[in-house]
Structure 1
Amino acid sequence: MAILYNEKSRIFTIHSKYSTYQMQVDQYDYLLHLYYGSKIENQEMSYLLQYNDRGFSSNPYEVGKNRTYSLDFLPQEYSVFGMGDYRESCLSVVNEDGSYDIELKYENHTIYKGKKLLEGLPAAYGSEEEVETLEICLRDRVTNLEVTLSYSVFYEYDVITRSVKVKNGGSNAIWLDRALSVCLDFANRSDFDYITFYGKHTFERQLERTKVRHGKTTVDSVRGCSSHQQNPFVILCDSNANEVYGECYGFSFVYSGNFKATVELDQFNQTRFVMGINDTGFSYRLQADEEFIAPEVIMAYSEHGLGELSRKYHKVIQNHVCRGKYKKARRPILINNWEATYFDFTSEKLVSIAREASSLGIEMLVMDDGWFGVRNDDYSGLGDWFVNTDKISGGLKKLVEDVNQCGMKFGIWFEPEMINEDSELYREHPEWCLRTPTRKGNRSRYQYVLDMTRKDVRDYLYDCISKILEEANIEYIKWDMNRHLTNVYSLGLDKESQGEVYHRYVLGLYELLERLISKYQDVLFEGCSGGGGRFDAGMLYYTPQIWTSDNTDAIDRLKIQYGTSFCYPISSMGAHVSAVPNHQTGRITPLNTRGIVAMSGTFGYELDVNKMTSSEKEMVKEQVEQYKKHYNTINYGDYYRITDPYHEERYMAWQFVSENKEKMLLQYVLLKPECNAPIVNIKLQGLEPDQVYTVVGTSETYTGSALMKAGYRIPEMNGDYTAVQIEFEAR
């Protein structure tokens, strides 16, 4: 069994393949954390607890004269505000009498095979053979507030998921001011580094690594979505941890709204980590017997560095978060018309792109923004999800049929959550916007945000999208969101419920997506928010791929895709070859390099193929064939970051190894060519040591051991941003 309980010592032990998590109900019925780390069997870790008489650390009444017992320094499994633990808390409640006191004591527990779904929320899933769950119920014996902590262990994947359910067992309403999902205390650690992923629009998920210092360090979002600016995935690791060495702890929040992730080093050099819904703008009313479910966090531990940690997340997200037909089915190589035409297109123009793209082996045309309402720029039209027949002459069905006759599938762009003032929908339903009644409200990209907490809004969007999908053979939807939330007020809720709007917005989005993907199971949904502004495990539950960034520059994409890879699988990253000079940076990069970089994702194109030269078109054909050939290795093999772009400026290299270790791709981009340059020798990873590998197209052979220990010499290269892809096969 993966989950064990010792009735005598009241210790819970959770084992995954290579890790152990342990906690204990103590003599006062508090749930204390004991250990999380490398696997330890047949050992109770309560000996790690230390009891000291600490000044200004209060003692619970029931401990009597024992001044060595305080919640202020003992490691908590789920920290609360108001009862003597002054560190960062997970739960803050305003009780019916106006007090903030919470005292959670052990009530009961349940262990069972399998894992329950979280109502209205995305979460990792698994069968009874794949996952085992522990639920621990804690209760405040004065107010009858109940908190159920859920731990599910995916043994073979080496991850543990955690979520929380809060139930008001009292007779009157209470208010949740904070309800986070995870607390993890390290009673004997003060030497962590904190790795986070900051960014901005067109430059997302840039790795930042800092030493954990005394006090609190927080990354968060209050933008209504997970955001370009920070990502809801973070890492705590040894100060000397690298790709192959050191202890690493990962935390991925399965949620697409406001979040916070805080690490605190306390006065006694103990480290606490908490993560969950951001409490800024959050106040959730719970009536008697009502429940609140805090979203899930996927935790993983690696004692062999950051690379191993990432591969654990890649596998569990691919197999136990992503769902549907395209979880594993090969996705079509697409061409998107946005950078080819922007708003200036007609049916004829789109068909001409499709016809030429089809001749090059590309498999799908995606029609981006501008096909609906009165939409010739971004000033108008959002919300009016009916076809603009001035552009789409003959209607959508005819256009799709014409594209299908070219041998191409057809996809379409939506931005369902947004509305322009200049739209029929706004003129009919201005109350459907998020906006404080006494204020005009902020516009962004000339648009407002629809109130997704409202059922009538969601029903309208469901009907509009369904009508479009029923009208023609549409096989792909790009779901965009091009602004963040402000003036967050719902005219559909009373004033006491306005602190719930941020969260209810996300729940409404999830409900709409669930309805659509359940009905249209053969449609591939791709998430997008101005590129990678909502790139999180929550969205991947509904959309198995996400447009990684609106920045299509191949060289910028190296860092963007590098940072994204720390949690999210290659199969989730939308990546396209675009024209040069690049529309975002003006940089000119070789087509070969653009292709190699874009192949490290869900490969496609975003340009007008009719403007390409004959030699460029031949290269596109070759890229398409290469991607198809290596599809499984790239998307479902093991991914290795060979170089770190923040420390190696001359070149960047990464590697894919097939699941059976018989195929390997090494991809390399030269960033700074030098005269009389030094030799570049790359030590590869993940191969079978005794297996002999051949460099495809040559007579070169090497053992896996030689490639990993002595390395592989990169051929001499020159020229700005040149790149090479080297294929190895087991002999």
Structure 2
Amino acid sequence: MKQLIVSAALLLSALQVGAAEKKVFRISTEQTDLILQVGDNGRLYQTYLGKKLLNEIDIQNLSWDIHAGTDASVSQRGWEVYSGSGNEEYFEPAIAVTHNDGNNSTYLYYVSSSTEAVDGGTKTTINLRDDQYPVEVALHYVAYPKENVIKTWSEIKHQEKRPVTLTTYASTMLYFNSSSYYLTEFSSDWAKEAQMSSQQLQFGKKVIDTKLGSRAAMHTHPFFEVGMGQPVAENQGEVLMGTLGWTGNFRFTFEVDNVGNLRVIPAINPYASYYELKKDEVFKTPEFIFTLSYEGTSQGSRNLHNWARNYSLKDGKGSRLTLLNNWENTGFDFDQEKLAELMKEAKHLGVDMFLLDDGWFANKYPRKDDKAGLGDWEVTHSKLPGGVPALVDAAKEAGVKFGIWIEPEMVNPKSELFEKHPDWAIHDENRDRYYYRNQLVLDLSNPEVQDYVYGVVEKLMKENPDIAFFKWDCNSPITNIYSPYLKEKQGNLYIDHVRGVYNVMKRVKENYPNVPMMLCSGGGARCDYEALKYFTEFWCSDNTDPVERAYIQWGFSQFFPAKAMCAHVTSWNKNTSVKFRTDMASMCKLGFDIGLKDMSADELTYCQTAVANWKRLQPAVMDGDQYRLVSPYTSNHMAVNYVTKDLSKAVLFAYDIYPRFQEKLMAVKLQGLDPHKMYKVEEINLMPGVASTLEANGKVFSGDYLMKVGLNVFGYATTQSHVIELSAM
């Protein structure tokens, strides 16, 4: 009781100081201001979020005398930044806590704040505290001025005698006041990732969430776009683009209130996750990363791409390895000799690396299919008698690097690991088991299991230090939901499991920082910026049909730079040419999963040339600015161009998908060029013996002409493509 009285006195003093100073926080980029203010009641409010204000006096004019009161006073004068449950705010809260005495209300008051310089920007921390209970919340904001990106998260802790229960725990709350709001969301399923659809947000709540635990983004992805006053558009209009750095269950709540204001609440999904928080334990919410673009999603995407390469993506400024994967070629049916031949094919193709996929491990229950062996990470001796060292040596002899597939978070019930440690798997012994893809998820809330999973990578690297790449897969959501390790604290499972996954990934990066890694999850069901701190790239989809990839790659490119998005040339949709398949994959991080013996001599020569061109043009495609020009959602064609940062080189990818008979064809107007520079236009990635049919090929145009008049690059033939290099003279 004495401690509470002292805390209350300190809090009261802090409130009086805050009210007297009219504390204002300006969280700014070069384009955007987020302005928060402490009201006379000592609580924190958002007073502005929008285009950057140019005059300091205007910041002061925003500093109303905010006070608690009626709905009208809250909606007209500001919105509480991290509203608690049980107070006079009648809409969705950011935090809900059940205290030791059973009380469910939370009122948070300003206590202190600080700012500090961080890599690329400024971090602002604002500390809040309940006036009746020793519950504290720290709100963190990092503003990246040049990229026009803000990253925000919260940290919750308490000093109550016994654990409290958290039932809601948002990363932040953002408010908007516009005439209307239009949401673009990204639905998904296996082989159908990042499908875009839009709707107007009306009064009430729209919720996007997932409850899968692992492979959590299988049905919907953790990012969204909201158009203010008009539907989301590519090159005009104000749009919020936000994404949550969380590999587990997430929830986005969009609530339009009774007077037409919108609150956006990104959070971990509290589904089956009433979290028991111990005294002095810090509950850190996921980072929410957002940009406000005033020139449509194209500029917003470039903001996020630049931010990711500079500050979030592992080795974001480094180059990427081209590769040949064996999966489409062999499936589970391979041996040492067959793989060695494929490594020679990789060298002949001109790629940097050979990647061995699933099927190389387990002995008591050999990995002949997906029904057995997961968890037993010993090489299958009958299939690969020389083990991984022999494969690494064969790759060296062939002149390529060697990479390998793992799925260390999963286990088949038919495995030695499950026989020895059934308690390491998430499953409920009281119920019949349901298996997704014949496997269970290992319980990463258990530190012992974390050590085991990390040990899979460590053992491979210690025995084979020349392994140059890992493809890390995750094929199953969590089923049979029960943690033998957590026992009575089952509400912590979904959250502590994901934190355990990150703990392992972090250890791998710390100990093997220079090893590139691909994030994969039955296709593109893992694609968040927290996991991408530890991975150089992610696998967009198992669907490599180039027509479907047009939509998948268009969707993912809204939030991720091309160098983070893996695209492979395979035999999917053989009705399309090898050229069309390769040109579609070349607009992302290029790889192959196809047998060279299945190609004609001309096709092979073409692929070798395309690989060489892609490597040469990495500064544009991987590190340049992307401009989405023609959408497959609104056209029978697609076009995207990339421009190097110095504007000296550009690459245009143009695709005829399914043109209609004699439809009107429009010139493609490029973007991002220097209007005063002259650019030579040259079509590349041509089949041997085939000349370019483009009238502009070999000619020189100003950047101004190319952006205002454009190039005639579309045609009437189905699934045709052009790759055009533009070089400043």
Asked if Structure 1 and Structure 2 have the same fold, meaning a TM-score greater than 0.5 normalized by the shorter chain, the answer is: yes
Q: Does residue 637 in structure 1 map to residue 624 in structure 2?
A: yes
Equivalent residue number for residue 291 of structure 1 = 282
For residue 557 of structure 1, give the secondary structure of its aligned residue in structure 2.
helix
Q: Note closer, same or farther for the CA distance 1:80–1:308 as it changes in structure 2 (3 Å cut).
A: same
Q: Does residue 662 in structure 1 map to residue 675 in structure 2?
A: no
Give per-residue Cα distances to partners, 1:567-620, cap 9 Å, x unaligned. Answer: 1111100100002xx2xxx45211111111111111010012233221211111
Equivalent residue number for residue 280 of structure 1 = 271
Contact 1:87 1:266 in 2 (8 A): yes
Equivalent residue number for residue 118 of structure 1 = none
Taking the TM superposition and a 5 Å limit, the aligned residue runs for 1:420-459 are 420-459=412-451
Q: Does residue 714 in structure 1 map to residue 713 in structure 2?
A: yes
Equivalent residue number for residue 84 of structure 1 = 88
Q: CA deviation at 1:494?
A: 3.1
Counterpart amino acid of 1:479?
Answer: W
In the alignment of these two chains, the number of paired residues is 692
Q: CA deviation at 1:74?
A: 4.7
**1:547 maps to which of 536, 539, 561:** 539
Contact 1:190 1:271 in 2 (8 A): no
**1:9 maps to which of 22, 31, 37:** 22
Equivalent residue number for residue 686 of structure 2 = none
Q: Does residue 686 in structure 1 map to residue 672 in structure 2?
A: yes
Equivalent residue number for residue 534 of structure 1 = 526
Contact 2:631 2:637 in 1 (8 A): no
Contact 2:26 2:33 in 1 (8 A): yes
Counterpart amino acid of 1:694?
Answer: K
Counterpart amino acid of 1:110?
Answer: S
Q: Distance in 1 between matches of 2:666 and 2:199?
A: 29
**1:622 maps to which of 571, 595, 609:** 609
Contact 2:320 2:563 in 1 (8 A): no
| Higher mean C-alpha deviation, range 203-212 or range 669-678 | 669-678
Counterpart amino acid of 1:131?
Answer: G
Equivalent residue number for residue 330 of structure 1 = 319
Question: TM-score, normalised to structure 2's length?
Answer: 0.92
Equivalent residue number for residue 591 of structure 2 = 604
Equivalent residue number for residue 493 of structure 1 = 486
Contact 1:34 1:45 in 2 (8 A): no
**2:217 maps to which of 222, 227, 235:** 227
Taking the TM superposition and a 5 Å limit, the aligned residue runs for 1:236-255 are 236-238=226-228, 239-255=230-246
Q: Note closer, same or farther for the CA distance 1:520–1:51 as it changes in structure 2 (3 Å cut).
A: closer
Contact 1:190 1:212 in 2 (8 A): no
Contact 2:129 2:135 in 1 (8 A): yes
Give per-residue Cα distances to partners, 1:661-688, cap 9 Å, x unaligned. Answer: 1111111111124444433311111111
For residue 284 of structure 2, give the secondary structure of its aligned residue in structure 1.
strand
Q: CA deviation at 1:89?
A: 1.3
Q: CA deviation at 1:521?
A: 2.4
Q: Distance in 1 between matches of 2:713 and 2:221?
A: 34
| Higher mean C-alpha deviation, range 21-30 or range 669-678 | 669-678
Counterpart amino acid of 1:137?
Answer: N
**2:202 maps to which of 213, 217, 227:** 213
Give per-residue Cα distances to partners, 1:138-180, cap 9 Å, x unaligned. Answer: 1111002111111111112111111101111333321101111
Q: Does residue 704 in structure 1 map to residue 698 in structure 2?
A: no
Percent identity of the aligned residues? 32
Q: Does residue 367 in structure 1 map to residue 356 in structure 2?
A: yes
| Higher mean C-alpha deviation, range 235-244 or range 102-111 | 235-244
Q: CA deviation at 1:639?
A: 0.5
Q: Does residue 149 in structure 1 map to residue 156 in structure 2?
A: no
Counterpart amino acid of 1:701?
Answer: V
Taking the TM superposition and a 5 Å limit, the aligned residue runs for 1:369-448 are 369-373=358-362, 374-448=366-440
Give per-residue Cα distances to partners, 1:250-284, cap 9 Å, x unaligned. Answer: 21111111101111111111111100100111111
Q: CA deviation at 1:699?
A: 3.8
For residue 139 of structure 1, give the secondary structure of its aligned residue in structure 2.
strand
Q: Distance in 2 between matches of 1:577 and 1:290?
A: 48
For residue 554 of structure 2, give the secondary structure of its aligned residue in structure 1.
helix
Q: Does residue 266 in structure 1 map to residue 279 in structure 2?
A: no
Equivalent residue number for residue 55 of structure 1 = none
Q: Distance in 1 between matches of 2:526 and 2:72?
A: 46
Contact 2:183 2:231 in 1 (8 A): no
Q: Distance in 2 between matches of 1:34 and 1:704?
A: 42
Equivalent residue number for residue 121 of structure 1 = none
Q: Note closer, same or farther for the CA distance 1:571–1:202 as it changes in structure 2 (3 Å cut).
A: same
Q: CA deviation at 1:206?
A: 0.9
Q: Note closer, same or farther for the CA distance 1:192–1:674 as it changes in structure 2 (3 Å cut).
A: closer
Q: Does residue 513 in structure 1 map to residue 532 in structure 2?
A: no
Q: CA deviation at 1:361?
A: 0.8
Contact 1:532 1:546 in 2 (8 A): yes
Which segments of 5 or more consecutive residues in structure 1 lack a partner in the other structure?
A: 53-58, 115-125
Q: Distance in 1 between matches of 2:443 and 2:113?
A: 39
Q: Distance in 1 between matches of 2:614 and 2:591?
A: 10
Q: Distance in 2 between matches of 1:203 and 1:136?
A: 41
Taking the TM superposition and a 5 Å limit, the aligned residue runs for 1:99-114 are 99-114=103-118
Equivalent residue number for residue 462 of structure 1 = 454
Q: Does residue 588 in structure 1 map to residue 575 in structure 2?
A: yes
Equivalent residue number for residue 315 of structure 1 = 306
Q: Distance in 2 between matches of 1:45 and 1:113?
A: 22
Equivalent residue number for residue 474 of structure 1 = 467
Contact 2:308 2:316 in 1 (8 A): no
Counterpart amino acid of 1:313?
Answer: L
Q: Distance in 1 between matches of 2:149 and 2:19?
A: 22
Q: Distance in 1 between matches of 2:491 and 2:175?
A: 29
Give per-residue Cα distances to partners, 1:198-232, cap 9 Å, x unaligned. Answer: 11111111111111111111111111144121111
For residue 392 of structure 2, give the secondary structure of its aligned residue in structure 1.
helix
Q: Distance in 2 between matches of 1:489 and 1:131?
A: 42
Q: Distance in 2 between matches of 1:67 and 1:376?
A: 64
| Higher mean C-alpha deviation, range 170-179 or range 140-149 | 170-179
Q: CA deviation at 1:552?
A: 0.8
Q: Distance in 2 between matches of 1:287 and 1:617?
A: 61
Contact 2:184 2:232 in 1 (8 A): no
Q: CA deviation at 1:492?
A: 1.0
Equivalent residue number for residue 10 of structure 2 = none
Contact 1:51 1:69 in 2 (8 A): no
Contact 2:371 2:439 in 1 (8 A): yes
Give per-residue Cα distances to partners, 1:294-317, cap 9 Å, x unaligned. Answer: 111112111111100000000111
Q: Note closer, same or farther for the CA distance 1:23–1:35 as it changes in structure 2 (3 Å cut).
A: same
Q: Distance in 2 between matches of 1:215 and 1:587?
A: 47
Q: Distance in 2 between matches of 1:395 and 1:68?
A: 71
Counterpart amino acid of 2:709?
Answer: A
Q: Note closer, same or farther for the CA distance 1:262–1:72 as it changes in structure 2 (3 Å cut).
A: farther
Q: CA deviation at 1:49?
A: 8.8
Contact 1:432 1:450 in 2 (8 A): yes
Taking the TM superposition and a 5 Å limit, the aligned residue runs for 1:163-174 are 163-174=153-164
Counterpart amino acid of 2:139?
Answer: L
Counterpart amino acid of 1:660?
Answer: D
For residue 315 of structure 1, give the secondary structure of its aligned residue in structure 2.
helix
Equivalent residue number for residue 688 of structure 2 = none
Give per-residue Cα distances to partners, 1:491-537, cap 9 Å, x unaligned. Answer: 11131x21111111111111111111221223211100011001111
Q: Distance in 2 between matches of 1:73 and 1:112?
A: 29
| Higher mean C-alpha deviation, range 37-46 or range 455-464 | 37-46
Give per-residue Cα distances to partners, 1:76-109, cap 9 Å, x unaligned. Answer: 2112211121211110111111111101111111
Equivalent residue number for residue 200 of structure 1 = 189
| Higher mean C-alpha deviation, range 499-508 or range 704-713 | 704-713
